[in-house]
Structure 1
Amino acid sequence: MFGIKTPRRRASGDEGEKPFWISFSDLMTALMVLFLVAMVVALMSITKPRPSPPPPQPGVDPKVAIAACVAEVTALTKLDEFKGIEVRDHSIDFKTLVRFQDGEHKFEKAGDEQFVRKFVPRVLTIARSGQCDGWLKRVVVEGFASNTGDYLFNLNLSYLRSQRILCTLLTSQTPDALSLVDRKLVQTLFLAGGSSFNTTFGTPAQMRRVELKLEFWDNPTHDRPAEIPLDPGLRCPNDR
């Protein structure tokens, strides 16, 4: 006896389909993971260590090279024409050979200005082609003032005395003016500093002086300073 066959029920379309959108919790999880990845990338870019400076040239000891450079400058001061200049702690002290008037930034003697223009080019020659080549970073011109009078006045006076040296070297209006090449190097290497009576020593007259402080690179592989337009040297700012 044949049984009565009943038609099989077709599954509804909704039962066989999976939902298209992910759940809200999965969406939040995915966004959180994306946020964490972005934060990690940002932190890595911020905290990435800066590249270390290039190592010194093989076989070149900075201390030995700098000492040789200073030795050449010291030997220059032993010449009869420059006797009296003292080199100590990488500083060139003109001592009594170059002095300023009391309370002024003008030179004490008429020949002081010519003496500076005679000596500094010899130092520049050493800086370019001697043991100093590639090692000399800058020359800071430090003027000094005595401990008599007001502190701020002396502080400004010491800076003006430093500036006076730069004016002397950069002027193009004198017969003994430095060459164009030397004036460019002065403008590139030299900076005006200033020291008041907080670094005083000796008598007030001994403090009316100037020093050239030599600063050196730690290694010879460095970027060259950018060139700037040369001052024509037509006037000195502190002449006003």
Structure 2
Amino acid sequence: MLGRIVLSKRSKDEAEKPFWISFSDLMTALMVLFLVVMAISLLSVTQKLRDVQMEEAERADAIDRIVSSLQEAAAKHGDVSVTGSRDRVVIEFGEAARFASNDHRIGTPGAERLRRFAPEILNMAESEDGRRWFKRVVVEGFTDPRGTYLHNLHLSLMRAESVVCNLLAPGGAELTDAQKQAVRRLFLVGGFSSNSTRTTDEESRRVELRLDFRTVRERPEAPALLDVPLGQCRI
């Protein structure tokens, strides 16, 4: 007689155990891999945040050094002041750079003072801190509150243009050719009408040089077209 072949339950369990053990190990490995990837990602994000914070601190320190340097230079040039914070640094030239009522022409004393102080700004722009963080000089013209808005807007723009024209014009305390090229590259004209009046009308009729700085993530702009002929001012 043929004997019966009986498959015990124990044999079946033993055959299945290797499969379930390998699946469990795979899940564990995947979980460990996921945790490793998350840890690396968190470390990367944290490091980038620290780098940004460190660069922000370097930028703030550099602007403080630039302002301190310009303030020391301003003390040697008479009635010139350098004020403001890290976000807005302003250079003013006192009574010499004020304008007559409804007139855009800057007087000779103001033009001379601007020309004598401009090299201080250009030297700052070529310093280590300046090359890294300095962006441009915005020449802002202002008027007193008298007159219409559009008239004053045009007048303030012409006053700002007058400053740049005097910096680039021949005669007096003339800038070198290299300095004039730097003025063309760094100075930008802006008009601001009567948006920032002072205590008196005379004090309101003025120009200011506002210094702009790059942000941490901002890259230098493309150089200006310096091969374009300089020409002459007609204002």
- TM-score, normalised on structure 2? 0.69
Alpha-carbon distance between aligned partners in 1 of 2:166 and 2:217, rounded to the nearest angstrom:
30
Partner of 1:161: 159
Aligned residues between the structures: 181
Give 1:235 shift.
1.4
Alpha-carbon distance between aligned partners in 1 of 2:153 and 2:52, rounded to the nearest angstrom:
39
Give 1:197 shift.
1.6
Q: Is the 8 A contact 2:62 2:129 kept in 1?
A: yes
SS at 2:108 equivalent: coil
The one of 70, 81, 92 equivalent to 1:86 is 81
1:128 to 2:126 alignment: yes
Give 1:231 shift.
5.5
Partner of 1:196: 193
Partner of 1:148: 146
Partner of 1:216: 213
Give 1:112 shift.
1.9
Query: Which consecutive segments of 4 or more residues in structure 1 shift more than 3 A?
Result: 55-60, 230-234
Alpha-carbon distance between aligned partners in 2 of 1:220 and 1:125, rounded to the nearest angstrom:
24
Alpha-carbon distance between aligned partners in 1 of 2:62 and 2:130, rounded to the nearest angstrom:
7
Give 1:162 shift.
0.3
Higher normalized helix content (fraction of residues): 2
- 1:122-156: per-residue Cα shift (whole Å, max 9, x none)? 21112112642321101100011000111211111
1:1-240 correspondence runs (5 A): 61-79=58-76, 82-89=77-84, 90-107=89-106, 109-129=107-127, 131-171=129-169, 173-219=170-216, 222-230=219-227, 232-238=229-235
1:233 to 1:168, Cα distance in 2 relative to 1, 3 A: farther
SS at 2:115 equivalent: helix
The one-letter amino acid of 2:81's match is E
Alpha-carbon distance between aligned partners in 2 of 1:86 and 1:102, rounded to the nearest angstrom:
23
Alpha-carbon distance between aligned partners in 1 of 2:162 and 2:184, rounded to the nearest angstrom:
14
Give 1:113 shift.
1.4
Identity of aligned residues (%): 31
Tell me which structure has the larger Cα radius of gyration: 1
Q: Is the 8 A contact 1:143 1:211 kept in 2?
A: yes
Alpha-carbon distance between aligned partners in 2 of 1:69 and 1:117, rounded to the nearest angstrom:
19
- 1:83-138: per-residue Cα shift (whole Å, max 9, x none)? 2212122010112131212111012x322212211111121112112642321101
Give 1:236 shift.
0.4
Q: Is the 8 A contact 1:188 1:225 kept in 2?
A: no
Alpha-carbon distance between aligned partners in 2 of 1:146 and 1:65, rounded to the nearest angstrom:
35
- TM-score, normalised on structure 1? 0.68
The one-letter amino acid of 1:93's match is E
Q: Is the 8 A contact 2:141 2:156 kept in 1?
A: yes
SS at 2:137 equivalent: strand
Give 1:230 shift.
4.7
Q: CA RMSD in A?
A: 2.4
Alpha-carbon distance between aligned partners in 1 of 2:53 and 2:233, rounded to the nearest angstrom:
41
- 1:184-221: per-residue Cα shift (whole Å, max 9, x none)? 11111111011122221221111111100000012387
SS at 1:137 equivalent: strand
The one-letter amino acid of 2:80's match is I
Instruction: Give ranges in structure 1 of 5+ residues lacking alignment.
Output: 1-51
Alpha-carbon distance between aligned partners in 2 of 1:135 and 1:56, rounded to the nearest angstrom:
15
The one-letter amino acid of 1:63's match is A
